[in-house]
């Protein structure tokens, strides 16, 4: 059965964009500087704001101060950032008031990556600076719902991380996962799972604005 909604809320990195190479290089440099194993960082970094990742892996450091140069670097470096196949036609066919981007990155990073890859800028863009608590807290998705003037239970989230799926469900939203940065067995809490963003199909709904389903 398709999932119906009035708005789609997309995570950015790992859903519409493949920024894995850029993110891994950034965290590797930071980890080497502080003597923190790269694997420890990447085990929790996906789907979280940099400040909250640092709080988890290095509670002895000033997370706010450490996150600033990381964000500044990623805002000017788009090397290793690519558009995901199928992302452009998916969002380009949606009305501007029917979708938003909710990312754990900063506004500068999001804007630089959208510009570099040619993705359209969403009318609503929720970033790390717009919330007090990042994913898996529901605040980012609730902020998007509020700005779009669409009730949370009529929004569907497209995510690639367990933290993002948890945030969506805590916000009272359904979630469709894309098995891009995480294997399917780590995404089983989602309401549906797509292997690729190109497998997500959107059409007119019967009761709500959109109907979403995942191709077999």
Q: What is the CATH number for 51?
A: 1.10.150
Q: Is-catalytic flag, 11?
A: yes
Domain's final residue, options 76, 97, 121: 76
Instruction: Give the domain extent around 142.
Output: 3-18+81-214
Q: How far is CA 48 from CA 7, 17, 129, 150, 203, in A?
A: 23, 16, 13, 24, 31
The answer to whether 9 and 173 have CB atoms below 8 angstroms apart is yes
Q: Return the H-helix or E-strand segment holding 169.
A: helix 162-170
pLDDT at 174 (0 to 100): 98
The answer on 108 and 163 residing in a single domain is: yes
pLDDT at residue 98 greater than cutoff 80: yes
Q: Choose the final residue of a domain: 48, 76, 104.
A: 76
Instruction: State pLDDT tens for residues 37-83.
Output: 999 999 998 878 899 999 999 999 999 999 988 888 777 778 889 99
Model pLDDT, residue 147: 98
pLDDT at 72: 83
Instruction: Kindly state whether residues 13 and 26 are assigned to the same domain.
Output: no
Going from the C-alpha of 191 to that of each of 96, 188, 202, 203, the distances in angstroms are: 25, 8, 16, 18
196 in the same domain as 172: yes
Residue 162 and residue 67 share a domain: no
Name the one residue in this structure whose structure tokens are 């938003």: 100
Per the structure, the count of domains in the chain is 2
pLDDT of residue 193: 97
Q: Where does residue 126 rank: exposed (0-12), middle (13-18), buried (19+ CB within 10 A)?
A: buried
Do both 104 and 11 map to the same domain?
yes
Which stretches within 63-106 are classed as H helix?
Answer: 63-76, 87-92
Task: Classify residue 47 as left (phi > 0), alpha (psi -120 to 50) or beta.
Answer: left
CATH number, position 166: 3.40.50.1000
Last residue of a domain, one of 61, 76, 91: 76
Q: What is the pLDDT of residue 62?
A: 96
pLDDT at res. 74 = 76
CA distance 27 to 24: 5
- Position of tokens 């294997």? 183
In the prediction, which pLDDT does 79 show?
81
Catalytic residue among 6, 13, 18, 160: 13
Residues 149, 71 within the same domain: no
Per the annotation, the verdict on 6 as an active-site residue is: no
12-28 pLDDT per residue, tens: 999 999 988 888 888 99
Average pLDDT over every residue of 95-114: 94
Judgement on whether residues 110 and 53 belong to the same structural domain of the protein = no
**Given 11, 130, 191, 199, which residue is catalytic?**
11
- pLDDT > 80? residue 154: yes
In this structure, the answer to whether residues 60 and 154 fall within a common structural domain is no
Residue 108 has pLDDT above 80, yes or no: yes
Rounded CA-CA distance 82/144 in Å is 25
Q: What is the pTM for the complete model shown?
A: 0.84
Whole-number pLDDT of residue 57:
96
Which pLDDT score, from 0 to 100, does residue 70 have? 87
Residues 9 and 57 placed together within one structural domain of the fold: no
Model confidence over 112-146: pLDDT tens digits? 999 999 999 999 999 999 999 999 999 999 999 99
70 and 85, same domain (yes or no): no
């Amino acid at each position: 059965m398709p999932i119906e909604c009035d708005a789609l809320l997309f995570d950015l990195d790992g859903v519409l964009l493949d920024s894995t190479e850029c993110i891994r290089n950034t965290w590797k440099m930071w980890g080497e500087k502080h003597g923190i194993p790269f694997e420890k960082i990447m085990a929790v970094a996906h789907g979280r704001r940099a400040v909250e990742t640092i709080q988890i892996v290095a509670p002895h450091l000033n997370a706010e101060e450490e996150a600033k140069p990381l964000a500044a670097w990623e805002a000017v470096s788009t090397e290793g950032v690519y558009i995901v196949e199928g992302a452009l036609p998916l969002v380009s066919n949606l009305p501007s008031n029917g979708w938003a981007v909710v990312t754990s990155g900063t506004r500068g990073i999001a804007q630089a990556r959208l510009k570099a890859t040619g993705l359209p800028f969403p009318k609503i863009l929720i970033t790390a600076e717009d919330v007090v608590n990042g994913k898996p807290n529901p605040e980012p998705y609730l902020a998007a719902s509020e700005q779009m003037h669409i009730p949370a239970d009529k929004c569907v989230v497209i995510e690639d991380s367990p933290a993002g799926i948890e945030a969506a469900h805590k916000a009272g939203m359904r979630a469709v996962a894309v098995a891009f940065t995480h294997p399917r067995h780590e995404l089983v809490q989602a309401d549906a799972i797509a292997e690729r963003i190109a497998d997500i199909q959107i059409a007119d709904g019967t009761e709500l604005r959109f109907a979403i389903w995942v191709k077999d």
